[in-house]
Structure 1
Amino acid sequence: MEHCNNYEENGKLRGARQAYEKTTPIVLAEQLKNDAGRRKRNAEMSCPESAVAHDGDISQRAISPWAWELDVDVNRYPTEIAKAKCLCTACLVNGVQDYNYFSEPIYSQMKVLRRSKCDRKGRWRYEVAWEDVPVGCTCATPKS
């Protein structure tokens, strides 16, 4: 017989909330959600035409810059995760994109809980899963 839980009754979720509270993708997700202006700016960002010295975040000073996007999945806990999106196809070398090098996402595996319907009474089953979360971008040579 399957073990079904209501969302509020699930002990895995109570423990997960505490474990996830301070992880970077979750902290950034909260910031993106609460800062509509920043989210709008990040959504509109594209690859800079030239590398410009910034005093800001490393995501904008890198030769492989990235922006943060809010990923929402109601069948995952946590439902909101910030994910990095590379802004350029190539890397910024000497102020311009150099297509001898490519901008590639860097992934970190994050433990999440996936929910699926368990019965007709509106209860769910939660199972541990691993999700690859892009956390930044780096410059790489082409694959041979």
Structure 2
Amino acid sequence: MYFLLSSILVSITYVHCLPVGKDCNVIESVVPEECRSIKGENQTDVWIKKEQCREVFEDGYIQWSERMLADPNLTANLDVVYHVEGQATRTRRSAERCPIFTESYIKNATGIQQRSISPWRYLVDFDNNRHPKQLVVAECLCNGCINLETGFETIDGNAHSKPIMWLVNVIKDNVSTKIPITTGCSCVASINQFAS
């Protein structure tokens, strides 16, 4: 309830502080640090864009991603994908590949992403023209799925690892937009398996 009331108050203040010439600097304290550098055509445009950016950071996935990024123990070994002028480059920090499900691997697997028969890893997606600039996203480790009887990846055309996609609201090039991100991976049956 408090969250809803504070959002309404902030929205009303954004709308009403500008036309009557009131000081809007008080509102700056509720805008996430990353959103404070947003530019616009005029003061009203700036505040509208900052409000949109604030709303982006209230998204549950964005908040989860921010918590992950704040923990250096979790992010120290994550690969980073940098997006610059439409080109993506990757910095490898991990040699993680499609695992073999041995008894010791399963005992040491700490996350659901490691125990899934369609395992994935997390990486940091960095784009300087986006708010948030960094997002934690998933990447499938296998093309096929792990066979629980053998512990090895099976690539027989009957099942494949597929990314689970989610649309998340971001500010990209100062415009509020939705982008697809991968949140995990799933083992799915091939349509060809049933065609005959």
TM-score by length of 2: 0.56
Pair 43,5 (structure 1): closer, same or farther in 2 beyond 3 Å: farther
CA contact (8 A) 2:144 2:153 kept: yes
SS of 1:19's partner is coil
CA contact (8 A) 1:20 1:26 kept: no
SS of 2:179's partner is strand
Question: Out of 20, 24, 32, which is 2:64 matched to?
Answer: 24
Q: Where do 5+ consecutive residues of structure 2 fail to align?
A: 1-39, 80-91
Q: How far is the alpha carbon of 1:133 from its aligned partner? A: 0.9
Alignment of 1:5-20 (within 5 A): 10-12=49-51, 15-16=54-55, 18-20=57-59
CA contact (8 A) 2:57 2:63 kept: no
Question: Out of 104, 121, 128, which is 2:176 matched to?
Answer: 128
SS of 1:39's partner is coil
- Greater helix proportion: 2
Q: Where do 5+ consecutive residues of structure 1 fail to align?
A: 116-125
Q: How far is the alpha carbon of 1:30 from its aligned partner? A: 3.3
- Name 1:77's counterpart in structure 2: 131
SS of 1:23's partner is helix
CA contact (8 A) 2:56 2:169 kept: no
Once residues 131 and 17 of structure 1 are traced to their aligned partners in structure 2, the CA distance between those partners, rounded to angstroms, is 12
Pair 18,132 (structure 1): closer, same or farther in 2 beyond 3 Å: closer
Q: Which has the higher contact order (CA 8 A, sep 6+)?
A: 1
Q: How far is the alpha carbon of 1:98 from its aligned partner? A: 1.5
Once residues 123 and 42 of structure 2 are traced to their aligned partners in structure 1, the CA distance between those partners, rounded to angstroms, is 31
- Name 2:162's counterpart in structure 1: 104
Q: Which amino acid aligns with 2:152?
A: V
- Greater strand proportion: 1
CA offsets 1:12-46 (integer angstroms, 9 cap, x no match): 36624651586323332333xx3354326973200
Q: Which amino acid aligns with 1:27?
A: R
Pair 88,136 (structure 1): closer, same or farther in 2 beyond 3 Å: same
Q: How far is the alpha carbon of 1:91 from its aligned partner? A: 0.3
Q: Which amino acid aligns with 2:185?
A: C
Identity %: 23
Pair 27,44 (structure 1): closer, same or farther in 2 beyond 3 Å: same
